[in-house]
Structure 1
Amino acid sequence: MSQQVPERTSLRDHLSSAHEKWREHSRFRRLSKKKKIIVGMLVFLVFLLFLLSATLNRYNGYNILLLDRYVSFDMPEEDTLTAKEWKKLVKSAEVSKYPEAQLKREEKYITSQYHKRIKEYGLTYKEYLKESDLTESEFQAQVEKLAKENVKEKLILHSISREKKIYVSSEEMKAAKQQMMKDRGATSEADYKKIAGETLDEHAEEIDLESKLLYGKIVKN
């Protein structure tokens, strides 16, 4: 039995009627104007947080920072620097404040690398501290110092990137990830995860692959 298709006018009337019923029974319609504004603002805030999260995951947040609030240095005239010039620039730069999210990210990465190396040497964390003649607070201070050095360099690096309009393209990121797979002897991303114990994207984020590639574009040996 074939299904009848309603005529255009009756279909329009049907949709119009359904829309009116939705408007009459909609909870949103029954809200006061003030509450509608609040709901709208909350929805907008959630959307902004989603965009911020996506940005932080992709770029580690440096691209949305007001970088000159955190670091000051003499911007080089040339687009590229030698390793010696880079070290001199980093040494002379001054950091007024370390961005919290980036600092925590670096501390987490450095700590994880320490623990990986400690495990490779067949030691526990406490045994490592004892062998290194370090207290836990001294170890944490060491991690924080290294993290601040990393963040300082990245603040400078991304400042130069923004000023000189030097960026890492998605194609360059993809090629670098393919090289990471090749270096591990992996033939696919699933294979890489089995070998490395983490996904390709997770490792790229962990090591801040974008900043590494950016450094290679700006600092020439």
Structure 2
Amino acid sequence: MNEPSAVFVVDDDPSILASLESLLSSEGHKVLTFESGTAFLAARRPDLPACLVLDVRLRGSSGLEFQRELVRSGIHLPVVFITGHGDVPMSVSAMKAGAIEFLLKPYRDQDLLDAVHNGIERDRARRAEARQMAELRERYAAMTPREREILPLVASGLMNKQIAVNLQLSEVTVKVHRAQIMQKLQARSLVDLVRFADRLAADHARDHTRA
């Protein structure tokens, strides 16, 4: 694999941990194993595209409870559940909480490897999206309050003349602001600008929802 990746394994059976570490390491992943969710949360983890392999039944708390704790902690990792005692309601609950796979022991090694690969690719895409969004926020922060006011009007398809009337500005002034907006957001076309504006609006809506 060109880009390093990590797999975290949480299982209270040392033999399972050793077996999974051997299997996943053979595929080139950096593997970190933990015997409890508490140990996982306390550890320093590599900043890499990653996937979490999690046993449903752990001493002290269930894997499903730990999955919910991860969400509350803002840790967004694709989760592959493994269990020797699964049932349909349990698997449905895991999937609703965001798990990408629910494997019953004994499972085929290839099924686990495929699930982990899928999880890492999902996390790689999420991380790329987060980086792009952070860059877009930085560009937006460089805009003036007037430019931020004009952005949604331009993105909605209004002409310079219409925006000028709405904001009681001259058309020339709107044209200058529009050019500055395009430059600061690094938008090469109106299509780019509309896409960026939509992403920023969705990002702001998520921030308000969290608040």
Fold agreement, TM-score > 0.5:
no
Q: Which has the higher helix share?
A: 1
Where relative contact order (Cα < 8 A, 6+ residues apart) is larger, the structure is 1
If the length of structure 2 is used for normalisation, what is the TM-score?
0.25
